[in-house]
Amino acid sequence: MAEDGATGAENQSSSDELGRTGGKLTFWLIEEALRSGGEVLDRQEKYFDAKRAQATSMLGWFVSITTAITFAAVSANKIAVGACIAALSTISCCCCVCVLMPKDWRYKQLHPRQNLEAEETSEKDYKYVCSLGLQIAIDHNVKILQKIDRVLNYAWSIFCIIPILGLFFYFIFS
């Protein structure tokens, strides 16, 4: 009898060492996927908001600096140089505006109708489908964030070469 009790204790301790197993492990993994998926979407949303704030700031600076440089070039009778600088800056500004335009962004929250019209027959199945939905949202948002990064890099690159091209145009049209 003592032997059986020892074996039971050994099984209990080995079960504790393994953590959840079987169906309990599957349910735990699904809940972890929901938790981590929500955290990833929260981070993506913060990054998205930061990039939109960056685009707003860049747009303000680009418009201000370009206006000053363009008017300086035009007042010095270098209209062609001013027009070239304004045209290049317009491209940078359009990139910033593109970032600020509404996007098909995916959030972690479901609409009440989605919850009420769920067709899953168990909590486990429902949470599994929700975790798959979070992964789809994450993948979708990654594509949007990559486009935003690319467009903002174009805006910076174009704006940074404006002084060089401005001097080039100045010597061409002088």
Residue 54 lies in a domain: yes
- Tens-digit pLDDT profile for residues 7-52: 554 444 445 676 777 778 888 899 999 999 999 999 999 999 999 9
So what's the pLDDT on residue 16? Answer: 63
How far, in Å, CA of 86 to CA of 70, rounded? 6
Residue 65 lies in a domain: yes
Residue 160 lies in a domain: yes
- Per the model's pLDDT, the better-predicted residue between 138 and 17 turns out to be 138
Residue 132 lies in a domain: yes
How far, in Å, CA of 169 to CA of 83, rounded? 10
Residue 9 lies in a domain: no
- Tens-digit pLDDT profile for residues 87-136: 999 999 999 999 999 999 998 887 888 888 888 889 899 999 999 999 99
Residue 149 lies in a domain: yes
Number of domains in the chain: 1
Residue 26 lies in a domain: no
- Tens-digit pLDDT profile for residues 86-95: 999 999 999 9
- Tens-digit pLDDT profile for residues 55-66: 999 999 999 988
- pTM confidence score: 0.78
Domain hosting 141: range is: 31-103+122-173
How far, in Å, CA of 154 to CA of 160, rounded? 10
**3-state secondary structure string across 71-123:** HHHHHCCCHHHHHHHHHHHHHHHHHHHHHHCCCCCCCCCCCHHHHHCCCCCCH
Residue 117 lies in a domain: no
